[in-house]
């Protein structure tokens, strides 16, 4: 009969007796009583080896008073969950891409980056997509020419393809139709297609779409493109010499950011772009005079397009030159101060709501106490639609153009 001490986790059981005439299994059963670990889960370390159930005590060589160590727990054995997680690496390549949040790309068909970036920008406008899907293939309104129709159809098909595919798409058909409609994009230089201006492509394409997506028959307010991209400008024209004043309104598809020496920020450029001088015949003076035209935004679209006017015409050398000046732009653009008084009034309510909402986020308390939440929601979306233009699209447009 030997007595040993057994260490189990942080506990020590002193003076555990071993009956050396019995197999070690009996000893393990003793330990089961002490620790609650079933014998088959017990591991007892003896001199760098494990004690086997059927070993012979005499060969194991346990001494009186020796310290043994036991390992083992009564814990439940870990089982794999029945439904293991699905790993991204196991998914087919297509789905992997989607799960990362990328959309399909476009092949460059030879200096067609201007077109690809334009298409990608437009493609990310869901409203335009839905408007296009409604456009029927066969029915062509009478006042639309054949090529415009084809271009619209091609745009629709290309968008569809981009949505379905996860692999890059080659926009062959679209390009062909685009060249047909606007032959200037087909210009060759040394046998290859020339570089083109994305702004031009954007303007032309939007023009075409606005023509074709106008709902025939109904009132012209239902111009989808104008709804999404059109900017209402109210301008006052003032002649300093004669003091004549007149005002006019117009609708444009983009705001211009003029880049001059003093423009460091997008906002300054925009302000700059809304002021212009023009020469026209002054009825009062009976000759042409310089007029100052100041425009303000009278209606904001859902998606605000801004063109950085980086090209200018060098008179001395008769060449196009690029202005490389760095112009900062914010990730969230507020054009409130470019708006007309009329629009200000419209915007004030929603803006206040937005501010309160922001304030709430920052932990400030709103001034108004009780308002029906429904009302709130409605106005919120309204406000957001008005002011927070989808800035990313335009940003993408710029970055792609510049990284060409």
Partner 1 sequence: MSDPKSGAGTFQTKAPTKEPEKKDEEHLSEEDLALKQQLELYVERIQDPDPGLQKVALESVRHEIRTSTSSMTSVPKPLKFLGPHYGTLKAFYETMPESDLKKYLADILSVLALTMSAEGERESLKYRLLGSEGDIGSWGHEYVRNLAGEIAEEFMKQQSEEAPIEDLTELVRQIVSFHMKHNAEPEAVDLLMEVDDLELLVQDVDNTNFKRTCLYLTSTARYLPGPDDMLALDIAYTLYLKFAEFANALQIALFLDKMQYVSQVFTSCDNLLRKKQFCYILARHGITFELDDEMAAEDDDREVLQDIINNIKLSESYLILARDIEVVEPKSPEDIYKAYLLDGRASAGASVDSARQNLAATFVNAFVNAGFGQDKLMTIPSDSSSGASSGNWLFKNKEHGKTSAAASLGMILLWDVDSGLAQIDKYLHSNDKHVIAGALLGVGIVNCGVKNHCDPALALLSEYIGNEDSSIQIAAIMGLGIAYAGAQNEQICSSLTPLLNNARTPLDVISFTAISLGLIYVGSCNEEVAQAIIFAVKYRSESELGEPLTRLLPLGLGLLYLGKQESVEATAEVSKTFNEKIRKYCDMTLLSCAYAGTGNVLKVQNLLGHCAQHLEKGESHQGPAVLGIAMVAMAEELGLEMSIRSLEHLLQYGEQNIRRAVPLALGLLCISNPKVNVMDTLSRLSHDTDSEVAMAAVISLGLIGAGTNNARIAGMLRNLSSYYYKDASLLFCVRVAQGLVHLGKGLLTLNPYHSDRFLLSPTALAGLVTMLHACLDMKAIVLGKYHFVLYFLVLAMQPRMLMTVDENLKPLPVQVRVGQAVDVVGQAGRPKTITSFQTHSTPILLASGDRAELATEKYIPLSPILEGHVILIENPEYREDS
By beta-carbon proximity to partner 1, the closer residue of 47 and 275 is 47
Instruction: Pick between residue 74 and residue 284 the one whose CB is nearest to partner 1.
Output: 74
Q: Are 400 and 105 in contact (CB under 8 A)?
A: no
- In this chain, which of 7, 129, 179, 238 binds partner 1, going by CB under 8 A? 7
Nearest distance from residue 29's CB to partner 1, in Å?
19
User: What residues numbered 8-27 form the site for partner 1, per CB under 8 A?
Assistant: 9-10
Residues 295, 234: contact at Cβ < 8 Å? Answer: yes
Of 73 and 240, CB closest to partner 1: 73
Residue 161 CB, nearest approach to partner 1 (Å): 23
Which of 250, 401, 270 is CA-nearest to residue 336? 270
Interaction between residue 55 and partner 1 (CB under 8 A): no
**Among residues 86, 139, 324, 362, the one that binds partner 1 under rule CB under 8 A:** 86
Establish if 133 lies at the interface with partner 1 (CB under 8 A). no
Interface with partner 1, residue 61, by CB under 8 A: no
Among the listed ranges 47-55, 136-144, 179-187, 347-355, the one in contact with partner 1 (CB under 8 A) is 47-55
Asked if 19 and 1 count as a contact pair (C-beta separation under 8 A), the reply is yes
Structure tokens at 9: 């986790």
Report, in Å, the least distance between residue 138 CB and partner 1.
Answer: 40
Cα torsion 144, 148, 153, 156: sign: negative
- Comparing CB distances to partner 1, the nearer of 71 and 109 is 71
Q: How far is the CB of 82 from partner 1 (least distance, A)?
A: 10
For residue 49, give both structure tokens: 């080896």
Nearest-approach distance from CB 94 to partner 1, in angstroms:
13
Shortest distance in whole angstroms from residue 25 CB to partner 1:
18
Is 4 or 178 the residue whose CB approaches partner 1 more closely?
4
Is the Cβ of residue 32 or residue 135 nearer to partner 1 in the bound state? 32
DSSP secondary structure string for all residues of 195-264? P--HHHHHHHHHHHHHHHTBPSSS-GGGBHHHHHH-EEEEEEEEETTT--EEEEEEEES-EEEE--TT--
Binding of residue 99 to partner 1 (CB under 8 A): yes
Measured CA to CA, the distance from residue 335 to residue 389 in angstroms comes to 10
Cβ within 8 Å of residue 97, ≥6 positions away: 166
Q: Is 278 near partner 1 (CB under 8 A)?
A: no
3-state secondary structure of 400: helix
Residue whose CB is less far from partner 1, 90 or 143: 90
Q: Is residue 49 close enough to count as binding partner 1 by CB under 8 A?
A: yes
Within 8 A by CB and 6+ apart from 361, the residues are: none
Please say whether the beta carbons of 381 and 404 come within 8 A: no
Pick from 134, 107, 324: nearest CA to 216: 134
The DSSP bridge partners found for residue 306 are: 255
Tell me how many residues contact partner 1 (CB under 8 A): 35
Contacts of partner 1 in 66-85 (CB under 8 A): 67-69, 71-73, 75-81, 84-85
Nearest Cα residue to 396 out of 335, 306, 269: 306
> Residue 69 or 380: which CB sits closer to partner 1?
69
Query: SS3 of 403, please?
Result: coil
Among 47, 344, 345, 388, the residue binding partner 1 under the rule CB under 8 A is 47
Q: How far is the CB of 88 from partner 1 (least distance, A)?
A: 4
Reported as type and span, the H/E element at residue 150 is helix 146-164
Q: Which of 14, 43, 137, 265 binds partner 1 (CB under 8 A)?
A: 43
Q: Supply 311's token pair.
A: 């090209």
- What the block records as the tokens of 156 is 């629709």
**Using the rule CB under 8 A, is 87 a contact of partner 1?**
yes
By CB under 8 A, name the binding residues for partner 1: 7, 9-10, 41, 43, 45-50, 67-69, 71-73, 75-81, 84-91, 99-101
């Amino acid at each position: 009969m030997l007595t040993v001490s057994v260490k189990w986790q942080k506990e020590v059981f002193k003076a555990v007796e071993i009956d050396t005439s019995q197999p070690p299994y009996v000893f393990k059963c003793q330990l089961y009583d002490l620790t609650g670990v079933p014998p088959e889960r017990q591991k007892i370390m003896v001199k760098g080896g494990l004690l086997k159930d059927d070993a012979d005590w005499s060969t194991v060589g346990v001494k009186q008073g020796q310290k043994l160590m036991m390992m083992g727990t009564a814990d439940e054995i870990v089982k794999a969950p029945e439904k293991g997680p699905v790993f991204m690496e196991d998914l087919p390549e297509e789905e992997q891409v989607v799960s990362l949040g990328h959309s399909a790309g476009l092949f460059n068909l030879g200096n067609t980056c201007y077109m690809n970036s334009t298409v990608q920008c437009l493609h990310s406008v869901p409203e335009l997509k839905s408007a296009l899907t409604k456009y029927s293939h066969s029915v062509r309104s009478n006042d639309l020419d054949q090529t415009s129709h084809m271009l619209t159809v091609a745009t629709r098909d290309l968008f569809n393809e981009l949505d379905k595919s996860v692999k890059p798409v080659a926009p062959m058909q679209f390009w062909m139709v685009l060249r047909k409609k606007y032959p200037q994009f087909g210009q060759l230089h040394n046998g290859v297609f020339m570089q083109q201006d994305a702004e031009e492509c954007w303007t032309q394409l939007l023009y075409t779409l606005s023509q074709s997506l106008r709902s025939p028959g109904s009132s012209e307010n239902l111009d989808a493109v104008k709804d999404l991209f059109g900017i209402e400008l109210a301008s006052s024209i003032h002649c300093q010499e004669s003091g004549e004043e007149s005002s006019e309104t117009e609708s444009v598809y983009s705001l211009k950011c003029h880049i001059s020496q003093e423009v460091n920020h997008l906002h300054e450029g925009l302000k700059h772009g809304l002021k212009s001088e023009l020469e026209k015949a002054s009825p009062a003076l009976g000759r042409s005079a310089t007029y100052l035209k100041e425009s303000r935004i009278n209606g904001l679209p859902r998606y605000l397009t801004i063109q950085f006017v980086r090209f200018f015409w060098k008179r001395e050398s008769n060449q196009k030159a690029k202005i490389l000046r760095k112009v900062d732009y914010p990730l969230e653009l507020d054009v409130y101060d470019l708006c007309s008084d009329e629009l200000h009034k419209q915007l004030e309510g929603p803006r206040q709501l937005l501010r309160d909402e922001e304030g709430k986020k920052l932990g400030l308390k709103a001034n108004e106490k009780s308002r029906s939440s429904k009302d709130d929601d409605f106005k919120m979306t309204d406000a957001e639609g008005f002011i927070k233009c989808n800035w990313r699209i335009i940003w993408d447009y710029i970055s792609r153009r510049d990284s060409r």
